[in-house]
Structure 1
């Protein structure tokens, strides 16, 4: 038992739907199947479902103990859960290997996408009791392939898958059940050699028996299934055969166009139900308006579903004929190889405004790639468009003009707005002469970096004699020779506003020796006076039965 399993056993996991999740089971655990008289060995986990975990498995006796091949899967859930209990009984009654082989022979089919049942029972692990179901192992699911292909399938592949699912639904309905949860995640491709082009419908946790009771909505079961594919009958709480066909039609439409119209409202089941009712009310006009490349065969399939009554048994031959006739027009058959290549995604028909917007965006990207010299960056497989080449007049409206104003004047703009050419006359301003420097004034603006005097950060100068020297330095002595004077000692533009006076300042006297100075302070003396008369406050107090000693 690994540490992961011990932790899970101590605190069992729970899903949002309230189901208890099983504790992880170690690789190599052996399950003894009493009913089938077999032993199954558990391999690595494949995935986790809504109510349990799925493990790869092999026959413990016939398979090598160290082998990597696991041809089976085991679905495990705690006994407290219920979905696997329902699925187990469906498989016991309808997925017997002999029954499936007999049906294939009767219908003259090459294969059928119905999974085969191999065993079930109970197993106790680490003090917890689990229910298990053994099935054949299959390959990748269609939902993963759908996302890998850019949310689009080739049209012929969609109709091939539709034919295979109709065969499976006919088998299930003939046994008195409906699936009620058809979706890409529940459709797996074959893993064995020769079954790669066969899709298998799995997960019968919502499988329901068909009854002869009157069609009556059941609010307790309303909106059951996966909300984006749920049929209109299932939204009312009733699972029907025509509902299975409708769910299949929604899947095929999504595989063709990429997204269903109501996928943005999945958190509101009632809103999704109303949108489906409106969509199916006039399905032909709704599909042709929104999607341009949906084949008419799928539209006729939806129209046939609308013509059915709730308790009607579908005409499977008619449905198969619709799909097979389309495949013939494309040169394919139902047994052709399934292709999962990314195709062009279905788009709504673009209007004229949309087209203009796309052209504008393309031209904007083109103009951003232009270099400063007017030549765009060369792209692979294309020659760069030079400036001297003529501009296409059809696209010149959305491109950045490259020629001068006079050249664009000759080209006609195809636009409803009139073109205006504005000429701006640039006037050259003559620079003013620098005023002559006054006498005895050094123009610091024209000095070089070497000629400029580097001043101390303590000095602040405005080229004025008043604030030339700040600090303890003495001003330079004025001499008759003006060349020896300081650079900033000459008068400046404000010399008429100030009067310069020279004053002799005597230096401060300095102490030649250290002298002791005595400072006298006056301290107030507190005077106490004796009271003239005695009061009760002056009497000796008695503390602990004794009087304090008398002071002399």
Structure 2
């Protein structure tokens, strides 16, 4: 029997959510409820449940465009987070209701996204759910990492005020966000909203439970573990839990990391560390993080005073943050994410920098005793303020000590070969040697070289009596006269490149010459010209 070929199962995330198939740019999605068509652009990113694409209005926008003012979140229809988020936006992100809240709070900008459309879409036989929102800029987590994991305190409290406004609006609708973090806070793209932070991703948003507070093990530790509130660790998200999550984010933006970040793999350990931290929040912050402003400590203390089901006084929390901003002289809403300035010359070194220098000195190896006598170790601290391409001034002390290598030294003998120098060619007729012209005969150009008589004397050519009688300053002979004079054409003796003797065999062909046969001496008489023939 031939078994039917089974289709490959779609990939799933660790939490069990199936990821959608990549959708190409140009695909048109029809919103039957809002009666609008949307055209998909390039992908922006992938979330924990689906993919986010840039998008534009299909009818009003031109076909060839790089400007996509919207985003479309797409997930397989069987997933759940986008279903929750879609219904939250439909109920709470109404344009008229948001405008009414802004007017009541006298806000010019507000960090709550607007709802533009949603629906279902079929692609390659698969059914998908989509949600259309406004497009925003960078998220705070990316900016936080690019800024050296630190924000200025004034910026931290400005963002805190903006998030309190959004949380107040959500809580007034009977919902909690439960997943506030830097990755879910985006900055506006428009000129008038570039300093406004927007809270997005309402996939974990839930209605406030009016029943008695009772831990739910099935929903325990939901959210992002480093920011999850104590109530959410027990499985019940609350309004005071949203404030606690905001406080953890602000503390991380101020000091760089949270005390429990090294234990994120064990949620119960993180939960116990948070409970110990919040139990003695003032002493914990004062002992470990002395630079944290008092307003944030009071904010944590206010959270501790609340019961799980108590209503939150957002105005009181806002006054805590605004009082700090007022004490720092902040009058505008401009967000500054520039990293902290490093210590300059006039600044005094901190305890941390002193500890680092002590550890560096301990790592320097001590000198060994020479001939049984211990030598004192002297070390001069040298500080160069110049850049690496500039030489230090003469007043600065240079550290000329060579760094000792830990590897054993190896002596290698290298035999250098001496090459015979090439002879200088003789001077041509009617040719003036520019290199040997003096400064008296011709003005020197920047690329010409002249030799005056004092230099010639140093080399070995002294003045003669004839030169003395002339009284000429430049009356000595040219130091290059021997090498250039045409009379001496003796070749210089070539020096051996090495002392090794090499025998070379050469095979030469003998020339065959024919000699005409002449008269022999035997044919001559015995005595010729008074000489006898050879014997």
**TM-score calculated relative to the size of structure 1:** 0.64
Q: 1:358: how far off?
A: 2.2
Q: CA RMSD in A?
A: 3.1
Structure-2 change in CA distance of 1:377 and 1:232 (3 Å): closer
Distance 1:217 1:345 in 2: 47
In our comparison, the structure showing a higher alpha carbon Rg is 1
Note closer, same or farther for the CA distance 1:351–1:10 as it changes in structure 2 (3 Å cut).
same
Equivalent of 2:337, from 336, 340, 347? 340
User: Which residue of 2 is the match for residue 233 of structure 1?
Assistant: 231
2:58 aligns with one of 40, 57, 60: 60
Q: Pairwise mapping of residues 54-133 of structure 1 onto structure 2 (< 5 A)? A: 54-133=52-131
Report the Cα distance in structure 1 between the residues aligned to 2:176 and 2:239, rounded to whole angstroms. 6
Distance 1:314 1:401, change over 3 A: same
Aligned equivalents of 1:242 and 1:96: distance in 2?
25
Which residue is 2:280 aligned to?
Answer: 282
Per-residue CA deviation, residues 373-409 of structure 1 (Å, 9 max, x unaligned), is x99896617546667x9xxxxxxxxx9999xxxxxxx
Secondary structure, aligned partner of 1:21: coil
- What is the CA-CA distance between 1:16 and the residue it aligns to? 1.6
Q: Spell out the pairing of 1:42-53 with structure 2 (5 A cutoff).
A: 42-53=40-51
Counterpart in the other structure of 2:386: 380
User: Residue 38 and residue 345 in structure 1: after superposition, are their counterparts in 2 closer, same or farther (change >3 A)?
Assistant: farther
**1:166–1:320 contact (8 Å) kept in structure 2:** yes
1:175-210 CA deviation, whole Å, 9 max, x = no partner? 000000000000000112200011000000000101
Q: Distance in 1 between matches of 2:236 and 2:205?
A: 12
Match of residue 354 from structure 2 = 355
Q: Find the residue that maps to 1:171 and give its secondary structure.
A: helix
1:357 CA drift (Å): 4.7
Q: Is the 8 A contact 1:52 1:76 kept in 2?
A: yes
CA contact (8 A) 1:53 1:75 kept: yes
- The answer as to 2:142 corresponding to 1:144 is yes
CA contact (8 A) 1:152 1:344 kept: no
**Secondary structure of 2:210's partner?**
coil
Secondary structure in 1 matching 2:192: coil
The 3-state SS of whatever aligns with 1:194 is helix
Distance 1:114 1:139 in 2: 14
Q: Deviations over 1:440-499 (max 9, x none)?
A: xxxxxxxxx97x999xxxxxxxxxxxxxxxxxxxxxxxxxxxxxxxxxxxxxxxxxxxxx
Post-superposition CA distance 1:236-262 (Å, at most 9, x none): 111000000000000000000000000
Q: Distance in 1 between matches of 2:22 and 2:44?
A: 12
CA spacing shift, 1:366–1:137, aligned 2, 3 Å = farther
d(CA) in 1 for partners of 2:381, 2:324: 51
Superimposed CA distance per residue, residues 97-118 of structure 1 (whole angstroms, 9 cap, x where no aligned partner): 1111111112221121000000
Residues 223, 234 of structure 1: 8 Å contact kept: yes
TM superposition shift of 1:17: 1.4
> SS state of the match for residue 32, structure 1?
strand
1:421-436 equivalent positions in 2, closer than 5 A: none
1:329 deviates by: 1.0
Matched with 1:503 is: none
Say how many residue pairs are matched. Answer: 380
Residue 181 of structure 1 contacts residue 206 of structure 1 at CA under 8 Å; is this kept in 2?
yes
> Is the aligned partner of 1:39 residue 2:45?
no
Alignment of 1:204-215 (within 5 A): 204-215=202-213
Distance 2:318 2:244 in 1: 15
Q: Are the counterparts in 2 of residues 183 and 251 from structure 1 also a CA contact under 8 Å?
A: yes
Return the offset for 1:12.
2.8
**2:329 equivalent to 1:323:** no
Give the alignment's TM-score, normalised by structure 2: 0.66
